[in-house]
Structure 1
Amino acid sequence: MTAAAARAIAGSLAPEPALDRPDLLAEPVAAALRALPAEQAADCLVAAIDPELADTAAFCAAYGSPLEASANCVVVAGARSGERRYAACVVLATTRADVNTVVRRRLDVRKASFAPMDEAVALTGMAYGGITPFGAPADWPVLVDTAVLATPAVVVGSGVRASKLLVPGAVLGELPGAEATEGLGR
């Protein structure tokens, strides 16, 4: 990520190389960052925040980070023939995930909905409000809206509420299980 791209989304944050601050990351997130190729990992930054301001709108208002440079990761679940299926879905904060059409079809379920908070937290090993595609369970598809992939730099969760990751949008498309998904964000 270029320094200019990082500055454009950082607002008043003080980002640092993410791998230098594992204390600001959930363990599955730190492991996912360590597994990236070195040049991609070097482009991933982390910044400490007030955990009370982890929700996107509050975060953007407090730190001056543009809403259009924030991406949200939601866990969606559905069932088919008694089998529960999940996906991590990443969309820009200015949009909403098309759960009822795009995600439902991809999961091949009759009905898809946001996973309950306690279920999402238990399955990801991340804090609610900090769930991120980095470190999502290996058997889940990670659906990434193409608009996120085209964004030079985005702010996403770090697995904990006390920090945020600043990453090139394209890096999200390189994560294990990642699928570029046109029209996921509406």
Structure 2
Amino acid sequence: MNRAEGTLSWSPAADHPEHLAPAVVSSLPLAPSARVAVIDPTLADTAAFCEAYDSAPEHSANCVVVAGKRNGELRYAAVVVLASSRADVNGVVRRHLDVRKISFAPQEDAVALTGMEFGGITPVGLPDGWPVLVDEAVVAAGQVVIGSGIRASKLVVDASELAALPTAEVLALAQGS
């Protein structure tokens, strides 16, 4: 059994746009390996998902939206780290984005700006120009499970495709990296 795929049945994402947020569908050419699996939306949160579907947390990537300010300008970015680690948002991410203060974006802002459901936000299909900061451990993991833009499904992708997204940068983001 593949450590990322767990016990789910996966199909090419491009064949099942009904299981994806519209923003993700339009960005699928950026992640040609993407495959989708339908899940119970009450199990979309990472810990519950990994346990229910026997997917290894070290092959499950979380995408969080952060917001920082500098000189009155609000800057958004996505941070992608493995479920088995925590992003150093107040250190590495804040300095990299050159903002004085940073925090997780409020849920309603993250949902409105991305067009994705909270708990399903994914780096594939984010607004143009948003930095996508990918932890180096995500890339090293090979295949990873990520959100699909909705809570009722997940994507499995080759992490190198996340690193190749137009605004992606691979950094040592995990605390203690």
**Could you tell me whether the CA contact under 8 Å between 1:151 and 1:170 is conserved in 2?**
no
Q: Which of the numbers 145, 160, 185 marks the counterpart of 2:174?
A: 185
Q: Deviations over 1:47-71 (max 9, x none)?
A: 0000000000000111111111100
Q: 2:87 corresponds to which residue? A: 97
Provide the residue aligned with 2:27 in structure 1: 32
Q: Could you tell me how far apart the structure 2 residues matched to 1:90 and 1:137 are?
A: 15
Q: Structure 1 residue aligned with 2:99, among 104, 109, 116?
A: 109
- Cα distance, 1:8 vs structure 2: 2.8
Give unmatched runs, 5+ long, in structure 2. none
Partner of 1:61 in structure 2?
51
Who is 2:110 aligned against? 120
Q: Tell whether 2:27 aligns with 1:17.
A: no
Identity of aligned residues (%): 61
Pick aligned residue for 1:73 from 63, 67, 76: 63
With structure 2 as the length reference, what TM-score do the two structures score?
0.96
Where structure 1 has 5 or more consecutive residues not aligned to the other structure, the ranges are none
Inter-partner Cα distance in structure 2 for 1:108 and 1:77: 11
Q: Flag as ranges the 4+ runs of structure 1 deviating above 4 A.
A: none
One-letter identity of the residue aligned with 1:173? A
Post-superposition shift, 1:128?
0.1
Paired residue type of 1:185: A
Q: CA RMSD in A?
A: 1.1
In 2, Cα distance between equivalents of 1:148 and 1:8: 14
Counterpart CA distance in 2 for 1:176 and 1:98 is 23
Task: Name the CA distance, whole Å, in 2 between partners of 1:103 and 1:84.
Answer: 15
How many residue pairs were aligned?
175
